[in-house]
Structure 1
Amino acid sequence: MRFRPPWFYVVAPSLGALAGLVYGSIFEVGPLTGAAIRGAIIGTPIMLYERRLLAPALRERVRSLATPLFLLATVAIYVAMIIVGNAAASTVLNRLFRFMYSERNAMLMTDTGLLYALCISALVVFVFRVRDLIGPGVFANLLIGRYHRPISEERIFLFLDVTGSTRFADRYGDREAQAYLGQVFNALALPVSQTRGSIDDYIGDLALVTWTMERGTRDAACLRCVFDFAARLAAESEAWRRRFGQVPEFRAALHCGPVVTAEIGLERHKIAYFGDVVNTTARLEALSKTLGVHVLVSADLLRRLGPLPADLVAEDLGAHALRGREEPMTVASVRRRAPVTASVAPIQSQVVAG
């Protein structure tokens, strides 16, 4: 599921046009209209690349590099896009608007233009790397100060625990276990991003993912994330076996409810969630192990999701007590009607209603 808000297709070229206007104003290199058009044509491919609409496999591979290599590789990719985009933009401006004396001169990039492109590229890459390090959602919210004052809101929480990681570490060692978990969480990033969620924290072999109610309930996006993650692991099973000798498995729990969200910390800022819903989700994750199922979801969330998508089916499993709660929670399982592939057995996902 690749949801793109309509405004994105306006913002992408607009940001490029703005960068072009800034360049044209500072260096006085011809009509500002031409500078804006040039900036839009040059900047749009970069925005498409960052939004995984252009060369997504290359972007994912580059993002997995160490920060110094990531910076160098991304700047190189940006500069290549800028040079090619400049040639395309100059050709358009020359043939349609005659802003240059000759098409050949129009396609050449000045030293000033190249230096400007390098500086802008380095700045953008640095911002995107910081965003990746703390999470896109957290970065945006910290930047605009949304949670500088505590806010009461409803959110969906997913606790996803990679099972068997302790046995893996005992067998292969801590370094290999770290590489294993790193690759697992890398694989989780795309389904979370595609469902507009946010990976807010990693705790050992557990990932904490959240959604706003509006985003997480649209087409059961929070459940889609779990099933898409399982599908990705199944589709890449041979690669996992070659690299690590096994295909990752996981347990997960989903719950929703009111929380107080606030920005905490002074030297290290973090967005934290306060409320019973977080503890309840942790209890559900523990319950999933007791029941021997892979995914648990609370009844509140199941009701908020409404009718499940046609390829998902729910089955009531009865009521179960949770530590710290007076009332029991009713358990249901949710599974896909068809296997992910013909040769690889799908992960049987379960959902708790309670």
Structure 2
Amino acid sequence: MTFKNKRRLRIIGTYCIGWTLAFIFLTIIRGVGATEDGAIDFDVAISLVYAITIGPLFGAISGYVQILVDERFYKRTSVRKLLMIRLAISIFFLILLIVVSYLIVPPLLNIDITLLTFISDEGSSAIYFYILTVDIFMAALWQVNLMLGENNLWKILMGKFYNPHEENRIFMFLDLKDSTVLAERLGHIKYSRLIQDCFNDLGVVIENEAEIYQYVGDEAVLTWHLKDGLRNLNCINTFYNFKSQLLKRKEYYLKMYGSIPFFKAGLNEGVVTATEVGRYKKDIAYHGDAINTAARIQGKCNELNKELLISKNLLDKFENNSFVFEQLNNIPLKGKTKEVSVFAVSLQTDEA
């Protein structure tokens, strides 16, 4: 199973758990120590069975909708519009849920009731409002999760990064080539749209288990846990998958911006400190020489006329590879007293 499909299953699983807990919470609040004024008076035990049955079903639908929104509607769409799209879809599925509930609940409780009466029963409006609110809340929470970096929200809530700790990671610095020339030619608005399009296309890196750590101007910083980056040479394949994605859309880029964007990249690995920073704006930060060296290596791409450079200490950890590595002379890096051994990377089919 691909990492992308695993991610989809994780999203659906998260929504299934969230909706099941939401329905259980509603059952407890409305059922324990309270009575219904309407025609339908759920027994708490039956309500819990209903919650456990409907929760995963509605969660699976809601999670799948979230995947569609992320993969089909996210480009050039504001968070407000995304939430409005979710609201419209939620209303549709709320109607579906009402119909399903009508087919299940009255026969289960042996109640003779019309669909119209079932829909307009006392207390139903509160349930409808609750369902729509939960759906919008979960969609908004998902957007916060994406802004912090996928899965980082949960880690922050659990306090994993409250105390600094060490992690062995790989870092890639990606930088747009000839960015100054492009900015002058396109103007800052159109140039910003170019960067927006490029970083939307950068989404393909999830197939290589990459985490997007930061966007800094026209530069993106990717990272992997060491074992994830080494597996299937994810850290190298990420660069070429991104490059391939840009070339697939070359007609679009030529039409919109008059050129195809190309990126250069530098890679390094090492032990860094991971910690939570900020009081009013939370973020997860990595500190250490490994990340600084990766940035300096990327900075040498133009000088050496290479698109992808990696450090020797990262190359030494590859168990097998399908790429060509050209050893360059040890080069001085700004801020380092010793020269660093760097290799240029190219595909096997490329000319040396």
Same fold (TM over 0.5): yes
SS of residue matched to 1:246: coil
The residue aligned with 1:72 is: 84
TM-score (norm 2): 0.82
The residue aligned with 2:214 is: 201
The residue aligned with 1:35 is: 51
Match of 2:157 among 143, 155, 166: 143
CA distance in 2, matches of 1:100, 1:235: 59
Count of matched residue positions in the alignment of Structure 1 and Structure 2: 330
Match of 2:248 among 232, 235, 246: 235
CA distance in 2, matches of 1:314, 1:239: 31
CA distance in 1, matches of 2:8, 2:89: 26
Mapped pair 1:21 → 2:33: no
SS of residue matched to 1:48: helix
2:330 touches 2:342 (CA, 8 Å); kept in 1? yes
The residue aligned with 1:264 is: 277
CA distance in 2, matches of 1:145, 1:112: 35
Mapped pair 1:178 → 2:197: no
Residue type at the aligned position of 1:22: F
2:253 touches 2:260 (CA, 8 Å); kept in 1? yes
- 1:69-126 deviations in whole A, cap 9, x for unaligned? 23222222333344335545665x469x846757974995942332111110221122
Q: 1:241 to 1:140 in 2, by over 3 A?
A: farther
Match of 2:236 among 223, 234, 238: 223
CA distance in 2, matches of 1:103, 1:232: 56
Match of 2:319 among 285, 306, 310: 306
2:267 touches 2:294 (CA, 8 Å); kept in 1? yes
SS of residue matched to 2:176: strand
Correspondence list, 1:1-354, <5 A: 1=2, 2=4, 4=6, 8=10, 11-28=14-31, 30=42, 31=46, 32-50=48-66, 52=67, 54=68, 57-61=71-75, 64-85=76-97, 87-88=99-100, 91=103, 93=104, 98=108, 101=111, 105=115, 110-188=124-202, 190-308=203-321, 312-323=322-333, 324-335=336-347, 337=349
CA distance in 1, matches of 2:250, 2:25: 49
SS of residue matched to 2:272: strand
Query: Deviation of residue 65 (structure 1)?
Result: 1.7
1:150 touches 1:260 (CA, 8 Å); kept in 2? yes
Higher mean C-alpha deviation, range 40-49 or range 278-287: 40-49
SS of residue matched to 1:118: helix
Residue type at the aligned position of 1:74: R
SS of residue matched to 1:319: coil
Residue type at the aligned position of 2:59: G
Higher mean C-alpha deviation, range 217-226 or range 136-145: 136-145
Q: 1:83 to 1:289 in 2, by over 3 A?
A: farther
Unaligned ranges ≥5, structure 2: 32-40
The residue aligned with 2:37 is: none
Residue type at the aligned position of 1:197: A
CA distance in 2, matches of 1:123, 1:141: 19
CA distance in 2, matches of 1:15, 1:267: 27
**Kindly, what percent of the aligned residue pairs are identical?**
22
- 1:250-278 deviations in whole A, cap 9, x for unaligned? 00111110011122222333222221111
Query: Deviation of residue 41 (structure 1)?
Result: 0.7
2:13 touches 2:60 (CA, 8 Å); kept in 1? no
CA distance in 1, matches of 2:98, 2:235: 41
TM-score (norm 1): 0.82
Superposed CA RMSD? 3.1
CA distance in 1, matches of 2:176, 2:112: 60
1:137 touches 1:198 (CA, 8 Å); kept in 2? no
Residue type at the aligned position of 2:163: R
1:42 touches 1:86 (CA, 8 Å); kept in 2? no
Q: 1:137 to 1:196 in 2, by over 3 A?
A: farther
SS of residue matched to 2:20: helix
Residue type at the aligned position of 1:26: I
**Higher Cα Rg, which structure:** 2
Query: Deviation of residue 10 (structure 1)?
Result: 5.2
Higher mean C-alpha deviation, range 159-168 or range 134-143: 134-143
CA distance in 2, matches of 1:134, 1:4: 20
- 1:185-244 deviations in whole A, cap 9, x for unaligned? 1211x2233333222222221111111123222222222322221121111111222222
Query: Deviation of residue 137 (structure 1)?
Result: 4.4
